[in-house]
Amino acid sequence: MNAAVSPATGGEVDELLGVLRRNVAAVAGGPHPPARVRMEAAGVSLEVEWRYAAGPVTAPPVLTVVPDPVEPDPCEAPDTPSSTGTEHAITAGNVGVFHRTPEPGAALFVVEGDTVVVGQQVGIIEAMKMMIPVRADRAGRIERVLCETGVSVQFGTPLMLLDAPAGR
Q: Using DSSP, state whether 13 is helix, strand or coil.
A: helix
Q: How far is CA 43 from CA 13, 19, 20, in A?
A: 9, 13, 12
When asked if residue 94 is in the footprint of other proteins (CB under 8 A), the reply is yes
When asked if residue 66 is in the footprint of other proteins (CB under 8 A), the reply is no
Binds other proteins (CB under 8 A): choice among 61, 96, 123, 165: 96
CA atoms of 66 and 38, how far apart (whole Å): 14
Comparison of 35 and 131: residue with beta carbon closer to other proteins: 131
CB of 96 to other proteins, least distance (A): 5
Q: Phi first, then psi: give them for residue 104, nearest 5 degrees.
A: -55, 135
When asked if residue 123 is in the footprint of other proteins (CB under 8 A), the reply is no
Site string for other proteins, 34-63 (x = CB under 8 A): ------------------------------
Comparison of 38 and 135: residue with beta carbon closer to other proteins: 135
CA atoms of 79 and 25, how far apart (whole Å): 10
154 closest CA partner among 110, 99, 113, 93: 93
Q: Which residues bind other proteins (CB under 8 A)?
A: 94-97, 127-128, 130, 152, 154-157
